[in-house]
Structure 1
Amino acid sequence: MYCLRERKEVNKDLFICMLMICSVIFLFYFLDNTSIVHDYAESTRSYNESTHLYLQNKYFGENSKQKIIGCKNIFEWDMSGVETARNSVTQDLKYWTHIKYQELTRNCSCFFEKRGYITHFLTTEEQRFPIAFSIIMYKNVQQVERLLRAIYRPQNIYCIHVDSKADIDIYKSISEISHCFENVFVLRKRIKVIWGKMSVLTPEILCMEELWKRHKTWKYFINLTGQEFPLQTNYELVKILKAYNGKNDISVAKNESRRCSGRSRTPPPYGIQIMKGAVHIAVTRSYVDYVLHDRRARVILKWMSHACAVPDEEFFATLNYNSHLQVPGSYKGYTRKSYLGRFKVWKSSIHYLRNITSPCYGKWVRSICIFSLKDLRRLSTRKELFANKFHLHENPLTYTCMEELIFNRTRDEFEGKRTLNASWYHQRSIS
C-alpha cells in the first residue's frame, strides 16, 4: 500500500508533497495577514471563496474520510437498517489494531488523510481561543484515537497519560500516534492509577505541568478519560467557555468534612471546608497556575493525600469553593450552580430518583451508565460539554453515531447553517 512504503522509496513523492504543503502554508499565512479570513463571531464563517471551497472539499466534501452511515434515523429511535450499519462499523473496528496504527503512523501525512483529522483552525475565533486537554487512559487505543480526532484542532494542545498497568503495545501505539503531531504528547512518567487513591490526581497534575510549560496561550483546561466523548463541537466549546467569563466549571455535591476526619492528626489547613466534587473539570489557565504554583494549593494537596478518603473528589472542588483562598475563577461561597462539564447517569438511589427522565438504555458498570443506541436521542440534546461513558467495542455503532453527530454539526457550522447562542451558558456562569 502506498502510505506504508518506506520513506526511501518515496523521496520524489515526498519532495513534491512538501512543495505543495509549503504553498498551502504560504497561502494561509497570506490570507490570515491580509484579514481575508474573518471572525465567525461577527457574522458567519466567512473566508474568501477559494479558501472556503478548498477547506469545505478537504474536510466535508466527497473526499472526507469521516465514516458516514446515516445515523439520523437511529437518533429518532428508528432501528430499521441498524444491523447493516452495525456490521459495517464492526468490520472497521477489527481493522484498526495496534499494529495497524503503528504501520500507518510511519507516514504522518497518510495518517492524517486516512483518519480524517481536521488540521485547520476553521475560524479565527477558535484560533484565538486554544484549549488544553488531558486524556487519562489505560486501554483501547482505537477509542482514545477516535476521541482525539473528535476534539483535535491544531491550535489546541493535548496531554495523554497511559496507566502503567496498560500493556506496552498500548503505550507504544499511542506514542507513535502522538509523534505525528506537534501539539499532542504522551507523558513519559506512567502512574499506576488506583481508584480512591492519590494516583488518580497525580496524572492530572503532571499533565497540567507539561501543558503549562509547552504552550503559553491556552485559555481553559479540560481533563478527560479515554471513555468519554464530546457533546459539543470545538467551536461550541469555545463559545461556551468564553461565556463562562473567566469562571471555573467544577462540580460540588456538599460539604464533606467527614470524608477527611479521623484520618489526620492535623486540622484542614487554612481553615478550609472540605467539599466533595469530581475530578472532571473545565478551568481557566489562572486556576491551573494556582494549582501548580501557589503554596496554599501545594499544602492542601499534601494534606489531602493522607487525610482524605478519595482526594481526587475533594481537591479541585475544595479549592474552588473556599473563597478566602482567592483562587482565580472560583465561586463566592458555597452554592450549587449548574455543573456542565459532564453528563453522567448514575444508578445510586439519589441520582436515579432525580434522573427519572434519564434512564439508562445501555448497562450499568460501577453504578454508571454505559450508553447505547437508545441513549443517542437524549445525548444529542444535552447541554453539557462531554458525556461519560462509552465502551467502543461493546457499542461501536453508538460511538460511530456520536462521531457522525459532531462531524455533521461542525460541517453545518462551517457552511453557516448552524450557530450557538451562548447566553444560556452565560446566565449559569458564576458571578
Structure 2
Amino acid sequence: MRLLKAGRLILLLKLTIVLGSIWMLSLFSYPKTSWDPTYILSYSWLEYTDADGIPETACNCSAILRGEREALEEAKLLSITRDFRESVHIPDEYYINATQDCREFQLSRKYLTIPLSQEEEDFPLAYSIVVHHKVDNFERLLRAIYAPHNIYCIHVDKKSEPSVFSAVMAITSCFPNTFMVSQPVTVVYAAWPRVQADLNCMADLYKASTKWKYFINLCGQDFPLKTNLEIVRMLRSLKGGNSLESEQMPDEKKWRVTSSHKIVDGGIQWAGKAKEPPPFNLPILSGNAYIVVNRGYVRSVLEDNRIQTLIEWAKDTYSPDEFLWATIQRIPGVPGATWPNSKYDMSDMNAIARLVKWQWHEGSQGSLEAVYPECHGNHVRSICVYGAGDLKWMLEQHHLFANKFDTDTDPIAVYCLEKYLRQKALAELQ
C-alpha cells in the first residue's frame, strides 16, 4: 500500500513538473490557450506543514495569528535563541548550489508554477524588487508573490557582496519571467540612485511585456499581506486608479527640495546652495518610495516631457523617493492621477501600497493619539522590524504589502505569514 501511494505521488509530481514546464515555456507566447482547471490536480503537497521538518515548525502559527499570549511568548523565546536562529538561516551558497537543478529547486521550495485561476492569469502584474543583502528574505518574498503570468525585475545594489549577486542571479535564472535589471546602480540611502534603481526596472518591465496591468515596487525586506488573487481583485477595484501616499509637504521636510545635495564618499551631503523652484510651478507632494500604479502611470514616467524635466530637477534633492512618485500622482493627465488640491491627499494608512510602523506614531492599545499599536519586534531607522506579535494586527489591515521583515531577527513572523498566505491561496481553489 505504501509503495502504491509513493508511486502515485511520484506520478503526480512528474505530471505537475511537465505541466509547469509547458506553461513556463509558453509564458510569453500568445495567443494563449484558456486556463484549464484540470491542470490543478492536487496542491496539498504545496502547503507549508510540520512535515517539512524545518525549525520554524516548532512554533504554533495558528495560535500566533490569533494573538494568543502563550504562543507569542514561545515564539519570542525561540527567535532570540542562538541555536534556533542559526538553524533557520539559509546561506547564500545554498541558493547558488540548489539552483543548479531548477526543477528540483522549484519543487523543494514549493513554488507555484501553474496559474491558480483564470482571473489571475488575465490580470498579470509587474514587480520591481530592489535588493542589497539578506538573500533568504528576498527568496521567500519572491516565492510568496510568484505567479507564472506575472513578471519580475530584480535590482541588486552594485556594492552588494559578490555572494548576494551570485545567489540572486542564480534564483532568477530558474524562472523565465524573472530577470536581473539591465542597468544596475550603486544605491545611496536618501539619494537619487534609489529612485534610479526603480526607474531602470520600470523601463525594463515596460519593454519586456505589454500584458501587465499594474506595477508594484518592493524591497527585499517586504512581504505580502494578501494572496495574488486578493491583490488582483483589489487592483481591479481601483478601476484604473493608483494607490500611493501623496500629501501636502510638511514644513519640516521642505528643506529636502529647496536645498541642493550631492553624493560624497557613498553618502549624501548638503551642496551649500539653494535649489531653483520646481519646473512648471508643480506642487511638490510628500509620499514614500513604494507605489501601486497602472501601466499608463509608468508610461508617463518614461515618456512624458513634464515628468522627465521633473526627474532632472529632482536629482540633487534629499530623499527624492519620498516626493517624486507622490508628485507625479498629482500631475493632471497622468493615468490614474488625482488633482493636486489637498482634498485629494492620501496618507500611507489610506493607500494600499505599503504598511509601515513608524516609531513616533506607535502607541499603547486604545490610545486615540496613536496611529497603530506598539512594535513587537525592534526598530531600524525608526521603522518597526516586525515580530510575530504584529501579525494579527497586520492581517486586519487593507494594505497589500508590509515593511520591514527580517528572518535574522524574527524568522517566525515570516514563516507564519507565508504559511498563512499559502494555505489561503490553495483554499481559494475550492
- Do the aligned partners of 1:77 and 1:377 also contact (CA within 8 Å) in 2? no
Give how far 1:90 is off: 3.9
> Identity of paired residues, percent?
30
Match of 1:291 in 2: 301
Q: 1:89 to 1:214 in 2, by over 3 A?
A: farther
**What residue in structure 2 maps to residue 228 of structure 1?**
222
Cα offsets for 1:102-150 (capped at 9, x unmatched): 1111110000011000111110010010000011111111110000000
- Equivalent residue pairs, number: 382
Instruction: Look up the match of 1:301.
Output: 311
Mapping of 1:279-428 within 5 angstroms?
A: 279-306=289-316, 308-323=317-332, 326-334=333-341, 335-337=344-346, 338-348=350-360, 354-355=369-370, 357-415=372-430
Runs (5+) with no aligned partner, structure 1: 1-15, 38-46, 416-431
Matched, 1:190 2:202: no
SS of the aligned residue for 1:164 comes to coil
Correspondences of 1:232-271 after superposition (within 5 Å):
232-255=226-249, 259-263=256-260, 266-271=276-281
Residues 1:354 and 1:188: Cα distance change in structure 2 (over 3 Å): farther
**1:24 Cα deviation after fit:** 8.0
Secondary structure of 2:246 counterpart: strand
Pairwise CA distance, 1:372: 0.7
Q: CA deviation at 1:209?
A: 0.7
Letter in 1 for 2:64: I
Q: Within 5 Å, which residues of 2 pair with 1:72-221?
A: 72-75=62-65, 76-80=67-71, 82=75, 90=85, 93-94=88-89, 96-221=90-215
Shift of 1:60: 4.1
Contact 1:253/1:276, CA 8 A, preserved across alignment: yes
CA–CA distance in 2 between the matches of 1:207 and 1:265? 28
Paired with 2:315 and 2:46, the residues of 1 have a C-alpha distance of 46
1:59 equivalent in structure 2: 46
Aligned equivalent of 1:71: 61
Q: What's the offset of the Cα at 1:167?
A: 0.2
> 1:411 offset after TM fit, Å?
1.8
TM-score of the pair, normalised by structure 2: 0.80
What is the SS of the residue equivalent to 2:427? helix
> Which residue of structure 1 aligns with residue 18 of structure 2?
21
Structure 2 counterpart of 1:331, one-letter code = T
Q: Which residue number in structure 1 is paired with residue 266 of structure 2? A: none
Asked if structure 1 preserves the Cα contact closer than 8 Å seen for 2:198 and 2:217, the reply is yes
* Partners of 1:152 and 1:407 in 2: CA distance: 11
In structure 2, the CA distance between the partners of 1:79 and 1:351, relative to structure 1 (3 Å rule), is closer
RMSD: 3.2
CA offsets per residue over residues 88-109 of structure 1, 9 Å max, x none? Answer: 9746523x32221111111100
For the 8 Å contact 1:130–1:217, the answer to whether it is kept is yes
Quote the Cα distance in structure 2 between the aligned partners of 1:287 and 1:102: 36
Equivalents in 1 of 2:188, 2:180: separation in Å?
A: 20
1:213 aligned counterpart, secondary structure: helix
What is the distance in 1 between the residues matched to 2:362 and 2:386?
Answer: 20
Unpaired stretches in structure 2, ≥5 consecutive residues: 1-12, 261-273
Distance apart, 1:273 and its partner CA:
0.5
Cα offsets for 1:55-85 (capped at 9, x unmatched): 4345349899696834011122243464897
Distance 1:135 1:72 in 2: 29
Write the distance in 1 (CA, Å) between the matches of 2:33 and 2:133.
46
Q: Does the Cα contact within 8 Å between 1:64 and 1:116 map onto a contact in 2?
A: no
Separation in 2 of the partners of 1:317 and 1:364? Answer: 25
CA separation of 1:103 and 1:126: change in aligned 2, threshold 3 A: same
Distance 1:63 1:349 in 2: 37
Q: Distance in 1 between matches of 2:395 and 2:202?
A: 30
Give the 3 Å change call, closer, same or farther, for CA 84–359 of structure 1 in structure 2.
closer
In 2: Cα distance, 1:410 partner to 1:251 partner: 28
CA deviation digits over 1:257-283, x for unaligned, max 9? Answer: 654225455331122001111110000
- Normalising to structure 1: TM-score of the pair? 0.80
Deviation at 1:22, TM superposition (A): 6.5
Residue 40 of structure 1 aligns with which residue? none
Give the whole-Å Cα distance in 1 for the aligned partners of 2:103 and 2:51.
15
